[in-house]
Amino acid sequence: MKIFMLGWEFPPFISGGLGTACHGLTKAMSKIGVEVIFVLPKPIDPAFSTHVTMLSPLQARGVDDLTTEQSELKNVRFRPIESPLQPYSTPEYYHRHLEEIIKQKRLVELEEIDTTYSDTSQYCGDMLTEVSRYAAAAVRLAQQEEFDVIHAHDWMTYPAGIAVAAVTGKPLVVHVHSTEFDRSGEHVNQPLYDIERRGMHAADKIIAVSHLTRNIIITRYGVKGEKVEVVYNGVDRELSSLNFDKMGSIKSDEKIVLFLGRITMQKGPEYFLMAAKQVLEVMDNVKFVMAGAGDMMGRTIEMAAAMGIGQKVLFTGFLQGQDVQKVFEMADLYVMPSVSEPFGIAPLEALNHDVPVLISKQSGVAEVLTHVLKVDFWDVKEMANKILAVLRYPPLHMTLREHGNFEVRKLAWEDTAAKCLAVYEGLMVQV
């Protein structure tokens, strides 16, 4: 089985859980013998990819692969789309280019891509131009490859998935890691919602990362239930112990409560701060570390200052690689107060580092974890009470730590890959 996989990010160039999920899934697929051609909109730095086979578009026409250590991803080839945005190019330009390619192939015409992007949000403008450019480049790459199934991750790659399916006639699987309702609540960005809906309806099968996400797909996007399969994410157990010293600004007797994720509405940073204030009213030797970046960063810093707890809240900015391991090794408790979380890989990573976890009930990962504390994201009083309980009572901390680490061992990427393979095989039977 050979898969043409469309992704938007891959370590070390990541902005969230999508890159982590793509890395874990492709590595596991390689282990079970599934061949993957992974298409990315930017190059992979070989210094961070010592276990993959690299193949750039220039190498696609017979030049030898740039080969490094292949023990973990020996069945994966990366096809980075390296060229930058063309000056003065627009989504309309790339859409016309896609239509020309498809007409040349004398196949069905690509369903129209909405190119009216008047919204001024962070996703519009150059981002949507890049999405259209990525789709055009992906079609060119697909014409040079042989594969059985197309697998597209999240909305940024759906136009590419639709286009490649139209040109090749191969079945399309879209993998929903997040929806516009998770990111924006009820005030959705209409062009993004339209792209998501179009991708879901064009797909032959949809993979959702949780039943929470599956229900959103069915109720908010009008997709039939039998089309949507739930496949949970996993966690990479292969971690090294780094044994870093604590940050200089944290005293040795202080407890550390960690928030790690994008500082956006979806992740609930304001609820974390409100709970922090209540904790600090009764327990002083605690520092709250907020690791991440996002559009609410400035507002969150101002909020901490206005609440009078600025000296107790540390903002690290975006972390990746060993810095993530470092901050987990420092933490006494990890808190994920997400307002709407399709899955949530960070709690698995925390448990993998022996860190007790408190998550919101409004998260997909709550469906698969038992030995963690759970709370409604809006119930900051109960959130504060549970934070205090973990920090004050060592037996509770130890129980959550030991049982949580044991539980997370059951969530392996190999199982995720096997379930995705079953979805592929089901489509091949139908062909």
Helices (H), 32-116: 91-105
If one compares 409 and 10, the residue with the highest pLDDT of the two is 409
Q: Are residues 31 and 123 in the same domain?
A: yes
Distance of CA 167 to the CA centre of its chain: 28
Number of domains in the chain: 2
For 374-428, the pLDDT digits (tens) are 999 999 999 999 999 999 999 999 999 999 989 998 899 999 999 999 999 999 9
Strands 52-54 and 66-67: antiparallel
- Does one domain contain both 318 and 423? no
Residue 272 sits in the same domain as residue 206: no
Residue 176 forms beta bridges with which residues? 208
Residue 241 lies in a domain: no
DSSP secondary structure string, 325-364? HHHHHH-SEEEE--SSBS--SHHHHHHHTT--EEEESSBG
Q: Is the dihedral of CA 361, 362, 367, 368 positive or negative?
A: negative
148 and 287 housed in the same domain: no
Average pLDDT of the chain is 83
Q: Establish if 242 belongs to a structural domain.
A: no
Q: Are residues 351 and 384 in the same domain?
A: yes
- DSSP state, 377? T
Shared-domain flag, residues 323 and 195: no
What percentage of the chain carries pLDDT values higher than 90? 61
- 375/401 same-domain check: yes
The verdict on residue 342 lying in a domain is yes
Same domain, 285 and 170: no
Q: Is residue 326 part of a domain?
A: yes
pLDDT band at 429 (very low <50, low <70, confident <90, very high): confident
Q: Are residues 195 and 324 in the same domain?
A: no
DSSP 341: B
- Residue 204 is classified by DSSP as S
User: Is position 9 within any domain?
Assistant: yes
- The CATH number linked to 343 is 3.40.50.2000
8 A C-beta contact, residue 358 and residue 390? yes
Residue type, 305: A
Q: What gap in Å lies between CA 190 and CA 123, rounded to an integer? A: 11
Above 50 in pLDDT, residue 244?
Answer: no
End-to-end CA distance of the chain: give it in Å, rounded. Answer: 14
DSSP E strands: which ranges in 189-285?
205-208, 228-230, 255-260
The reported pLDDT for the residue numbered 105 is 58
Q: Does residue 62 come out as left (phi exceeding 0), alpha (psi in the -120 to 50 range) or beta?
A: left
Beta bridge partners of 149: 3
pLDDT digits (tens, 9 = 90+) for 39-82: 987 654 544 443 333 333 333 333 333 333 345 677 788 777 75
Lookup result for tokens 């979380």: 341
pLDDT for the residue numbered 249: 53
The reply to whether 383 and 426 lie within a common domain is no
- Of 86-95, 255-264, 321-330, 398-407, the poorest mean pLDDT is in 86-95
Contact call for residues 365 and 210 (beta carbons, < 8 A): yes
Please check whether residue 244 lies inside any domain of the structure.
no
3-state secondary structure of 410: coil
Give the torsion through C-alpha atoms of 156, 423, 363, 386, to 10 deg: -130
Query: Residue 329: inside a domain, yes or no?
Result: yes
Q: What is the pLDDT of residue 403?
A: 94
Which pTM was predicted?
0.82
- The answer for residues whose C-beta is within 8 angstroms of residue 219's C-beta and 6 or more apart is none
Taking only Cα atoms into account, the Rg of the chain, rounded to an integer number of angstroms, comes to 22
pLDDT band at 362 (very low <50, low <70, confident <90, very high): very high
pLDDT at residue 275 tops 90: yes
Taking only the tens place, the pLDDT of each residue in 283-340 is: 999 999 999 988 899 999 999 999 999 999 999 988 877 888 899 999 999 999 999 9
Give residue 299's pLDDT.
93
Domain that holds residue 148: 2-234+413-430
Residue 42's pLDDT is what? Answer: 61
- Whether the CB-CB separation of 179 and 196 falls below 8 Å is answered with yes
Region 256-274: what's the mean pLDDT?
95
pLDDT mean over 228-251: 67
DSSP-assigned beta bridge partners for residue 373:
358
Which tokens in the block code for residue 46?
């070989």
Tokens for 152, please give them: 């597209």
Same domain membership, residue 142 and residue 19: yes
Could you tell me if 199 and 275 lie in one domain?
Answer: no
Q: Is residue 277 part of a domain?
A: yes
Burial of 164 (0-12, 13-18, 19+ CB in 10 A): buried
pLDDT band at 84 (very low <50, low <70, confident <90, very high): very low
If you average pLDDT over residues 235-248, what whole number do you get? 53
- The pLDDT-based confidence of 252 (bands split at 50, 70, 90) is low
Q: Which two tokens stand for residue 369?
A: 């974890």
Lowest mean pLDDT among 21-30, 86-95, 214-223: 86-95
Confidence of residue 251 (pLDDT cuts 50, 70, 90): low
pLDDT for 85: 44
